[in-house]
Each structure stands twice: as structure tokens, then as C-alpha cells.
């Protein structure tokens, strides 16, 4: 199979990975990008810095691999947007990151249309998604150029095409879930009628060519980051689920080919469109995961993620945390929620505070697991996980204890680019099935619950009461 350059453009940095047909990593380069977090719910990135990280990381990876590449693929942040000039590619605004909550001002006046939006798109009317941010840019920053998600701009820089993929487009609030096509009424609802929108490509499609990294090669297999990880972790059957612990935590479950709407407050979007058929997934979000750990570092409670397992235990001695540093998603959907600690006394230690944050993150994931189970009509029995925080044994054990299920850790730190690589193989060789394009794997480690069910339920009941008292 083909050798692929996978560009994984994320919130905290850009990763470029060159993989061969057996998913052997021939080269990897990572360049950090730190979003600008400011008061008032502002989270922005510098487009020039971000694009430079894409070009630099990818060029270095190709040089390091020292083999010809057969194709390029891209994964993206999903709901991060900007305005740009389609003639020159010049950015006309900062990038408004998916965590940014200023577009609440767009959502509030159309709150009476929330049911319509949910029925058409499978999503919740919330500033987390794309269209409110696009509308906010138009109202507050510029009426020039086009407004799109970050992937369309990056792809234009590489290929000259203005394209997004089905999984990314389905996160927009202006895309019909059933057809994965733009909805004119929803575009009008957000004041985006008449906008030039990117073409929506299938996830197994070659969308163009680039010579940015040497010889001219096809670009295809595009996919949003979380769906890429879902694919890499072989969640191909309805009911199979994964959680990625990156800047945020994202629990996705495959729903099969039926675009079923959630009755549990989750979102539903396209997982991928392959061989002319669309598979769907339910999606629950925790807005702060690694970013909560970074906050612990910034305020001096933690030297770094590697210290988690040295100071944390399974007992925070009465301290409880709701780590809503960037708001709460499902099932609360409160973009203005803030983090709180409860049960703090003179005996509370630094270890207790850090443990409480980890337990609060795990509790949010456990809530999402329950919501997924409600939509599926059966409980989850296993959860596949990836991302940087899976290196913490204490945290993974806490997730297993609170969810009361087995946790299988994906053996690579690069699930997102490896999922995109599978789609790129499929794009370059349509004769492959999706299962054939994915390289088989075994868990690096499995965590099983050590807490009793009663202890887990008692903790979660208390944690929910803290949420209710402080956020709702």
C-alpha cells in the first residue's frame, strides 16, 4: 500500500507523520502552537503561524523519511474558522478556535429555532459549532473574502481548491445530516446566505494535487480529527466507541448508516462518507482535558503531565472539581459555565486539587458514556482511548473506575493521522475496503474497574450535585 504524508493540524500544534502501507512510522515532526486564551471567552490562533507550522512540519517529515510519498492527507480541528481572500489566500482575520464562546451572541437571538436546527443537522445550537462563528466574523470582523473552517483555507494553500470534507461539514450547523449537503434555510438563519461555501468532498476522494513538499502528488482522504481517530481505532460497527484525550476529550460512538438523532443531548454527525455511503456517529465533548492540565501547570499546581502519576491517588479527600474552564458541553450545553472547586479546607493538599481535576474530567467522560448508551439502547462494555493523557495510569484507571467498563489504550500516540492515512489509502486505491485500509492493532494496555459499582455511583451522584449547584 501507499506511503502517505499525514498532516494533523490540531489546536495545540501541527503534527506531520509519514507512514508506509503497514502503518510503520517513517518520520514524525511536531510543532507546538499555543492558542491565545483571553477573558470574555476569546480563543484565537494566528493563521500565519499556523500555516507556517503546517509547511515546516510536513517538509521536515518528508525530508526525514527520505522516501517518495504517494499522497498527502489532512486532518483538522473541526470547528475553528477564519476569513480569507480566495484570490490570494491571505487571511483576513485571526482564527477563531472551536473553544471560543463569543458566538453565543449569534445563538441567543435564534434560540427559538434550536429544535429546527437539531432536527436538520443532528447538532445543538451552540457557539462550539461552525456557523455561529462564521456569522460572528461577518458581524464583527470583516465582510470581505470568504469565511470557512481552517481545513478549507489550508487546502487552498496546498492545492488551490476550496474544499472541505463530509465529516467536517457535518459539524457546521448549516449542513443537512441526512444528505450531508448545505441547507439554504439554515444558511439564511445564520445570515450566511450568498456566502461562497467550500465544496463538500467524500472522505475517500482525491480533491487535488500539491507540489508543496516535493514532487506533485494527490491530496485526499480528508477527515476531521475525531472521526479520524474513530476510524484508526477500528470502530467500524454500530456501538463501538472511542475517546480521544487531547486539548479536549471527545467520546464518539459509531451509529452505522442510519442518521439517528440523539435523544440524550449528544450531537450526531457524519463519521465518514466512503464508497458513496455515509456512516454516522454520536459525539460527546469535554471542552478541557489536556488544556485543564496545562492550566494546572500555569498556576503552579503541576510541573508537567509526567508528574500526574507521582502525586495523584484515587482519593481527593473531599475535594471535588468541575473542570469547566471553557464551558460545559453535553448534556448541559452551557458555554458560559466556569470551573469550580468544592470541599476545600486547610488540610487540602496540592495532590488533592490535582486529583480532583482528574476525577472531574473522568466524571464528565462517564456522563458522556451514559448518554451514548442511552442513544444506543445498550450500555458500553469497552471504550477505546487515545491521546496524550492516556499515558497517565492514574487517570486511565479513574476513567475505568467511574465508567465501570474496560478501557483499551490504542498502541500509538498518533491515532488521528493514522486514521487519515487509512482514508488516503482508500482514496488512492478505491478497490480497498475500509477495513482493509486500516492496519490491525492490539491494545497497549487494558484498564478494568477497581472501584465497586456503589463507590462509583456515590462519587458520580455527588459530582452531579456539585455541577447542579454551581452551574445550572
| For residues 254-267, average pLDDT | 91
Q: How far is CA 313 from CA 81, 233, 307, 352, 396, in A?
A: 39, 29, 12, 8, 12
Query: Predicted confidence band at 23 (pLDDT cuts at 50, 70, 90)?
Result: confident
Residue 58 has pLDDT above 90, yes or no: yes
Residues 214-244: tens digit of each pLDDT: 999 999 999 999 999 999 999 999 999 999 9
| For residues 274-284, average pLDDT | 95
Residues 378-402: tens digit of each pLDDT: 999 899 999 999 999 999 999 999 9
Whether this prediction's pTM lies above 0.85 is answered by: yes
Helix (H, G, I), strand (E, B) or coil at 129: coil
Helix (H, G, I), strand (E, B) or coil at 386: strand
Is the bond into 331 cis (omega within 30 degrees of 0)? yes
What separation, in Å, do the N-terminal and C-terminal C-alpha atoms of the chain show?
A: 52
Helix (H, G, I), strand (E, B) or coil at 110: helix
Is the CB of residue 366 less than 8 Å from the CB of residue 251?
Answer: no
Residues 133-165: tens digit of each pLDDT: 999 999 999 999 999 999 999 999 999 999 999
HSE value, Cβ hemisphere, 13 Å, CA-based, for 393:
7
Residues 430-442: tens digit of each pLDDT: 999 999 999 889 9
- Alpha helices by DSSP H, listed for 377-437, are 393-403, 415-428, 434-437
d(CA 7, CA 5): 6
Q: What is the pLDDT of residue 471?
A: 65
Is the CB of residue 39 less than 8 Å from the CB of residue 22?
Answer: no
Instruction: Provide the mean pLDDT of the chain.
Output: 95
d(CA 201, CA 204): 8
For 413: left if phi > 0, alpha if psi spans -120 to 50, otherwise beta; the answer is alpha
Q: How far is CA 174 from CA 56, 100, 221, 232, 272, in A?
A: 33, 19, 22, 27, 17
Q: What is the pLDDT of residue 274?
A: 97
Query: Predicted confidence band at 1 (pLDDT cuts at 50, 70, 90)?
Result: low
Cell numbers found for residue 140 = 464583527
Percent of the chain with pLDDT over 70: 99
Give one DSSP letter per residue of 14-72, joined into a string. EEEEEE-TT--EEEEEEEE---EEETTTEEEE-HHHHHHHHHHHHHHHHHHH-S---EE
Residue 376 has pLDDT above 60, yes or no: yes
Helix axes 393-403, 350-376, angle to 10 degrees: 40
Residue 413 has pLDDT above 90, yes or no: no
d(CA 145, CA 90): 9
Is the CB of residue 212 less than 8 Å from the CB of residue 249?
Answer: no
Domains, in order of start, for the chain: 4-225 (3.30.420.40), 234-409+442-472 (3.30.420.40)
Helix (H, G, I), strand (E, B) or coil at 246: coil
Residue 38 has pLDDT above 60, yes or no: yes
Amino acid at each position: 500500500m501507499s506511503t502517505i504524508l499525514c498532516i494533523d493540524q490540531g489546536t495545540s500544534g501541527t503534527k506531520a507523520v509519514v507512514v508506509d502501507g503497514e502503518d510503520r512510522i517513517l518520520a514524525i515532526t511536531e510543532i507546538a502552537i499555543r492558542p491565545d486564551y483571553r477573558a470574555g471567552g476569546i480563543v484565537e490562533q494566528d493563521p500565519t503561524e499556523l500555516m507556517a507550522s503546517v509547511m515546516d512540519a510536513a517538509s521536515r517529515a518528508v525530508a526525514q523519511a527520505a522516501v517518495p510519498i504517494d499522497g498527502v492527507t489532512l486532518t483538522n480541528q473541526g470547528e475553528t474558522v477564519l476569513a480569507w481572500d480566495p484570490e490570494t489566500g491571505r487571511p483576513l482575520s485571526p482564527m477563531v478556535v472551536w473553544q471560543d464562546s463569543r458566538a453565543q451572541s449569534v445563538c441567543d437571538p435564534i434560540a427559538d429555532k434550536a429544535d429546527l436546527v437539531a432536527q436538520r443537522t443532528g447538532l445543538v445550537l451552540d457557539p462550539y459549532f461552525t456557523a455561529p462563528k462564521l456569522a460572528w466574523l461577518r458581524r464583527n470582523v470583516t465582510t470581505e473574502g470568504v469565511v470557512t473552517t481552517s481545513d478549507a483555507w489550508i487546502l487552498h494553500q496546498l492545492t488551490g481548491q476550496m474544499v472541505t470534507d463530509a465529516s467536517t461539514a457535518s459539524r457546521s450547523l448549516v449542513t443537512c445530516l441526512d444528505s450531508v449537503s448545505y441547507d439554504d434555510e439554515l444558511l439564511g438563519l445564520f445570515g450566511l446566505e450568498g456566502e461562497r461555501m467550500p465544496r463538500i468532498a467524500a472522505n475517500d476522494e482525491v480533491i487535488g494535487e500539491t507540489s508543496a513538499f516535493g514532487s506533485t502528488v494527490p491530496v485526499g482522504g480528508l477527515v476531521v480529527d475525531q472521526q479520524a481517530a474513530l476510524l484508526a481505532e477500528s470502530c467500524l460497527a454500530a456501538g463501538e466507541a472511542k475517546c480521544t484525550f487531547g486539548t479536549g476529550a471527545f467520546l464518539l460512538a459509531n451509529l452505522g448508516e442510519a442518521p439517528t438523532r440523539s435523544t440524550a443531548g449528544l450531537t450526531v454527525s457524519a463519521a465518514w462518507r466512503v464508497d458513496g455511503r455515509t456512516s454516522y456517529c454520536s459525539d460527546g465533548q469535554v471542552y478541557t482535558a489536556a488544556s485543564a492540565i496545562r492550566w494546572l501547570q500555569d498556576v503552579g499546581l503541576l510541573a508537567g503531565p509526567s508528574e500526574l502519576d507521582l502525586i495523584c491517588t484515587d482519593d481527593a479527600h473531599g475535594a471535588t472539581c468541575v473542570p469547566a474552564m471553557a464551558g460545559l458541553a453535553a448534556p448541559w450545553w452551557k458555554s458560559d459555565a466556569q470551573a469550580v472547586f468544592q470541599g476545600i479546607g486547610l488540610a487540602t493538599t496540592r495532590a488533592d486539587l490535582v486529583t480532583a481535576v482528574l476525577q472531574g474530567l473522568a466524571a464528565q467522560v462517564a456522563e458522556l458514556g451514559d448518554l451514548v448508551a442511552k442513544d444506543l439502547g445498550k450500555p458500553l462494555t469497552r471504550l477505546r482511548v487515545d491521546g496524550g493523557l492516556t499515558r497517565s495510569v492514574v487517570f486511565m484507571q479513574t476513567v475505568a473506575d467511574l465508567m465501570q467498563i474496560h478501557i483499551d489504550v490504542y498502541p500509538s500516540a498518533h491515532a488521528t493521522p493514522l486514521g487519515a492515512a487509512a482514508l488516503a489509502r482508500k482514496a488512492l486505491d478505491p478497490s480497498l475496503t475500509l477495513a482493509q485500509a486500516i492496519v490491525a492493532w492490539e491494545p497497549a494496555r487494558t484498564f478494568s474497574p477497581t472501584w465497586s459499582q456503589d463507590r462509583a455511583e456515590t462519587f458520580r451522584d455527588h459530582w452531579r450535585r456539585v455541577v447542579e449547584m454551581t452551574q445550572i
